[in-house]
Amino acid sequence: MIVVMEHGATQAQIDHVRDRIVALGLSAHLSQGEFRAIIGAVGDKQPEHQAILEAMEGVERVVPIMKPYKLASREFHEADSVVDVGGVPIGSGVTLIAGPCAIESRESLWRIAEAVRARGAAILRGGAFKPRTSPYSFQGLGVEGLKLLRAAGDAFGMPVVTEVMSIADVDVVAQYADMIQIGARNVQNFNLLAAVGETRRPVLLKRGFATTVAEFLMSAEYVLSRGNRSLVLCERGIKTFETELRYTFDVAAVPLIKHNTHLPVIVDPSHACGRREYVTALALAGVAAGADGVVVEVHDCPEAALCDGPQALLPDMFAEMTRQVGAVAKALGRELVPARTTRL
C-alpha cells in the first residue's frame, strides 16, 4: 500500500504513521516529495490495515499497489530517480561507462582509463572477479584488481564500478568501488541482492539472459527492500533462437521498464551482441529508446585481451560512439553527462 500524506502534514504525523505501519508488521519506506510525503507499507497486509491507516491524522488517502514489485514501481515513486555514483549522476542525461572487461595489469588499465576519460566516459568499469563459462579461463585479479581499479579511478577523476560474485566479497568490493555490479548470472541470487542492499553503495543490476522484465524488477525489489534506493537497471541482451550474435538486444525492454519503474535504465550493447562492429548501433538504439546511459567495454589491444576481446571497442571507436550517442541524445532534448572536473 501507499500512504499519501496530506500537504502540510507534520513530521510528527509522518513519524506516527511510520510507527503504526511497523506495528502492523509491515515495513515502512518513506519517499519525501517536494509537496508531500508518501510512505510505502510493504509486507503481508491484512484487509483491515488500509482502514486503520486511512483513519490516522495527516493521511490523505491509502492506495493499494497492484504491482508485485512495490518499491520499484512508479505507483510508489512517480518521478524518475537519479542515482549519484561518486559525483556522477545516472538518470539526468545520458551517462557513459567504459573500461576493460577485466583488469589485466596496472599498465593496461591506466592506458585504457586515460583513453576512455579523454573520449567521453564519466565512469570507469573493470572486472576484478570474473564469472567465466570455462573454469580454465582468466578469472580476474581479485582484490589486487580492486586496488588497481580504485587507484585508476582516483588518478583520472572517475568513479568506478565492478562486479561482485559472492556474499563473502561484498564488503571488500564496497570498500574499493563507488558502484557494485550484480551480473546477469546472479540476477536471481537473492541472498547476494539482499547483501548489496545492505551496503548503501549504488548498485548496477544487470538483467539475466533468461529473465523476464517482471522477474528483473522483483530482483530489484530485493535491493530496494533492504533500504538501498541507489539502484540502476541494465538491459544486456537475452537468449532467443538467433545464433549469429551472442544474445538478442531487447531494446523494447528499455521503454517497458521505464514505464513500470522510476529507476534509471542503462544498456550494455557489448554483451548484447558480442561483436564490436555492432556495439555503436545498439548503443544508439538504446539511447533512442530512452536509456539513461550506456556501458561498453574498451580495450587498446583487443586481440591480446584476456576476456571478451571481440566485443571490446578500440579507443577511437569509443570516441565515435560517444559523438553519435551525443547527437541522438541532443535530438531527444538530453545531454551527455560530463566526467567530473575535480576529484572527490
Helix (H) or strand (E) holding 137, with range, is: none
Could you write out the DSSP letters of every residue in 1-32?
-EEEEPTT--HHHHHHHHHHHHHTT-EEEEEE
d(CA 257, CA 110): 35
pTM value surpassing 0.85: yes
pLDDT for position 57: 93
Handedness of CA 334, 339, 340, 341 (dihedral sign): negative
d(CA 139, CA 135): 8
Full set of structural domains in the chain with CATH: 2-63 (3.30.70.1140), 83-331 (3.20.20.70)
Picking from 328, 343, 344, 341, the residue whose alpha carbon sits closest to that of residue 93 is 328
pLDDT for position 296: 98
pLDDT for position 305: 86
Question: What SS3 state is found at 301?
Answer: coil
- Dig out the grid coordinates for 312 from the structure: 571490446
pLDDT for position 131: 67
Angle between helices 106-118 and 143-156 (to 10 degrees): 40
Which portions of the chain are predicted below pLDDT 70? Answer: 130-134, 136-139, 342-344
Could you write out the DSSP letters of every residue in 149-185?
HHHHHHHHT--EEEE---GGGHHHHHHH-SEEEE-GG
Alpha helix locations (H) across the chain? 11-23, 47-54, 106-118, 143-156, 170-176, 190-197, 213-225, 253-260, 269-273, 276-288, 315-331
